[in-house]
Structure 1
Amino acid sequence: MKTTIKFWGGLRTIGGNIAEVIYGKDRIIFDFGLVYNPASSIIDIKERKQSYVLDMLKLGAIPAIDGIYSKESLTGESFSAAKPQPQEDSSYQTAVFISHLHLDHMGAVDTLSPQIPVYMTEDSKQLYDALERVGEGLSLHKETTGMSFGQTIEVGEIRVTPIPVDHDVIGAASFLIETPDLTLVNSGDLRMHGPHPEYTEDWLTYMATQHIDVLLIEGTTFNPDKKETDTACKEDADILKVGKDTLAQKQGLGIFNIYHRNIDRIHTFLQMAQLTGRTPVLEAPTAYLADHFLHDVHFMIYLDDSSKYAAITEQLLAKHKTVTAFDINQNPAAYLLQNSYHSIQNLLDLDLKESIYLHSNGMPLGSFDPAHQTMHALLERLGVSYQSLNVSGHAKNEDILYIIDRIKPSVLVPWHSHHPELIKPLDSKQEIYYPKLYETWQPNSLNIAKL
């Protein structure tokens, strides 16, 4: 067997998954994101654009992979950090494939050489471009190429086909990767309890008919601490009902905090406002995404003292009205207002008597983020009630085991998990491989036979 696989990240982390598949001089890499750990994010280097790639290498935020960074971006002293071979000196034909638009899977694509093509689904590319327009692009501009679900991209003798799965962001894909002597599936991030379980079920039905040599499966939810989370929602469908019932009990302002890359979640809160007789009010970037991706929806745009989003707001004024804190304070119970954590200071302008803060997978994500405690302390100080409406974007433990049992790969590789060893397949004879970081693995060492 000529195919080799090398793992550069994601083996015992949530996100930061980077794997390299090589056949001869053909190479693909998937994904290319960052490990999310706000507690260790002590410095901001976004403005150091000339040295950005070297800075990221020095911080260990990106791996020292030969042949993917430009010679220009590697110019300068690397000191103790390993400086990889520049792309211009590499003999590999390389392409990078992004499964979905979460930062832990795509947040470092801007460090790649302009000569390295980056592929993602058409929906992901639309979101990627829209985020750049609202000021949420990456530190450096990087062109990407959209591909249709089911479309096969050939990188020399390696074939990559994206297949839709349900995750909490549009455009999410699993990748079927075929070389002349190996068939590999990267599950990507997926679930069976979201608004589109049919995506994952159809993917699973197809994969169960294939002979899969290697399955890379995410295992986010596997944890030795079985303590229940504080959310009142088990599935996405619960968010609308619980949120509606909670708002009905409050005589003041409704406030919500979401991660607006989840377009379905934006739509859920617009529906919630309609069902409770409240006017939905969105921040300008979210309003732009709602206007771009949703149809026949109605909302107002929140105007604060910041002029940061003036250009975005101006584009939307032809369709949507604006509202200020003064307007909301005339009748707070008439509104359901978006408030992202980075704008939480705007709450100081509002009448918060009998108000409720609905937190639905917005930042900060959990207690591992120091900002989570800060958020709760501020809400308590302001007398704002809190309700978690979080629903995981990742498959439940039992669903992961069901997926493995349906696909029955020759070899299972668990990753995207703090505890991959906890993934114990229903079939006790299922072969499992736990790769080591930076190890070059030839799967034929586990007696995989290509049918």
Structure 2
Amino acid sequence: MNICIHRGSNQIGGSCVEIEQDGQRIIVDLGLPLDADDNVPDYLPDVPCLTNGDPSLLGIFISHPHLDHLGLLKHISPEIPVHMGPAARRILAAAKPFLPDNWPDLPAGRDYDAWTAMETGPFRVTPYLVDHSAYDSYALLIEAGGKRLFYSGDFRGHGRKAKLFNNLLSRPPKDVDVLLLEGSSLGRLDEAGRFPTEAEIEEQLVQVFSATKGLAMVHASGQNIDRIVSILRATKRTGRKMVMDLYTAAILEATGNPNIPQSNWQNVALFVPQPQRIQIKTNAWFDQLKHHSANRIYGQHLQAAPSEYTLLFRPLFMGDLDRAECLSGAAYIYSQWEGYWERGLYDRVKSWLESRDIAKQSIHTSGHAGPSELKAFANALSPRKVVPIHSFAPDQYAGLFPNVEPHADGQWWEA
């Protein structure tokens, strides 16, 4: 089994690994770099036949639905099979109409059945469901030529699905030759440090909601399902209702999980901001709107009783909130990666908050394993070698794991 990390040996995001056996190839993840200015074909890695297809390229296996792991799929040939989790595929299909840059339909491929092997050519691929901030995320065990490679994808052990992490520690795959291990937390957290759990995030939200006299606005990704569950639980505990837009309602329904918050739940409401109303009219999404409108509210409801609501904030709400005059005593909680804020992605939100004298509060936890979780993971799998990926600090691996073997981007090597 021959392996090449095309991108990710010394950076977070843009992950792409090519694996070759007997002249046939598969790709694991095809991500957009985090520092990309735009999603353009120039960022495609140097993998033969991504744009025109080739019989030797058997398919692309996606670990989870985050752009830094699948964002470049929009530029590939539709002839290349793309395999991923079934809920991840549904979520991407639900999100597609709302995206501004005309994403094509994803190429067809097989849906993962967790812990069940799939075969293509000389490769046998087994998806392992993992705890991550993206719903329906997987690590992948790849077998070919008598070798076994375990690709961790992105994972953690402190989310609402931590049981998956603990199960993997207690029943790891055996005889792993190579562990391609993400290290997003290295350089950000010392070895003894840990990230807050989602349960602790819920408690922090309860404290802020209880102290907020007006509307509580939480700026979180509509695809961070664990966080939405935490927000709803904190909302119910403080006597509020959680308000979402049509995009978030569509994403939550696409999970196919009846235990995930839905637009028709008793403690949930739908508010459709003006930019989305234009989208609905332009695209004739009237049936979809009706489907989610059982608990629809309007600006006058927020104006009359802002303290009764928690809003899953998105920047497109700002104009409607101003027109509703519902911001007296409001709180804004930023619940995403701070890098987006620091890089200026939300400068318009920052100016809007400052002009209305609303302070930014941050309540968040990482979607990635901390150093102690990484060590426990590597110890459980006991691979013959650990190869760094998805980390800005590959130099720190040798101090944490035995048998570290770094490989540079673009370098081919044997398992």
| Shared fold, TM over 0.5 | yes
Counterpart in 2 of 1:290?
252
- Match status 1:56 vs 2:37: no
Please point out which of 279, 291, 308 is paired with 1:308.
279
Q: Deviations over 1:128-170 (max 9, x none)?
A: 2222254478622222331211222212111111011100111
Following superposition, the deviation at residue 324 of structure 1 comes to 2.3
1:341 maps to 2:315? yes
Of 171, 175, 194, which aligns to 2:140? Answer: 175
RMSD: 2.6
What TM-score, normalized by structure 1, do the two folds share? 0.82
Q: Distance in 1 between matches of 2:407 and 2:41?
A: 24
Partner of 2:236: 274
| Aligned partner letter, 2:67 | L
Aligned equivalent of 2:213, options 251, 267, 280: 251
Q: Which segments of 5 or more consecutive residues in structure 2 lack a partner in the other structure?
A: none
* Residue number in structure 2 paired with 1:235: 197
Q: Is the 8 A contact 1:33 1:103 kept in 2?
A: yes
**CA shift at 1:325, angstroms?**
2.2
Matched, 1:352 2:327: yes
- How far the C-alpha of 1:345 sits from its partner, in A, is 4.3
**Divergent runs of 4+, >6 A:** none
Distance 1:346 1:417, change over 3 A: farther
The TM-score with structure 2 as length reference comes to 0.89
SS in structure 1 opposite 2:168?
Answer: helix
Q: Distance in 2 between matches of 1:103 and 1:91?
A: 26
How many residue pairs match? The answer is 401
1:164 aligned partner? 129
Name 1:389's counterpart in structure 2. Answer: 363
Q: 1:120 aligns with which of 84, 101, 111?
A: 84
- Summarize the Cα distance change of 1:367–1:263 in structure 2 as closer, same or farther, 3 Å threshold: closer
| Aligned-partner Cα distance in 2 for 1:419–1:303 | 43
Larger-gyration structure (1/2): 1
Contact 2:49 2:57 in 1 (8 A): no
SS in 2 for 1:175: strand
| Counterpart-to-counterpart distance in 2, 1:272 and 1:224 | 28
Alignment of 1:137-156 (within 5 A): 139-145=103-109, 146-156=111-121
Partner of 1:213: 177
Query: How has the CA–CA distance of structure 1 residues 224 and 289 changed in structure 2, closer, same or farther, with 3 Å as cutoff?
Result: closer
Q: SS of the counterpart of 2:126?
A: strand
Any gaps of 5 or more consecutive residues in structure 1?
Answer: 46-54, 71-86, 444-451
One-letter amino acid of the counterpart of residue 414, structure 1: P
When residues 397 and 426 of structure 1 are mapped into structure 2, their CA distance, relative to the original with a 3 A threshold, is closer
Deviations along 1:209-259, one digit per CA (max 9) or x if unpaired, are 501100000000111686x99x9x711111221111111112111111111
What letter is aligned with 2:403? E
The alpha-carbon deviation at position 176 of structure 1 amounts to 0.2
Counterpart residue number, 1:29: 27
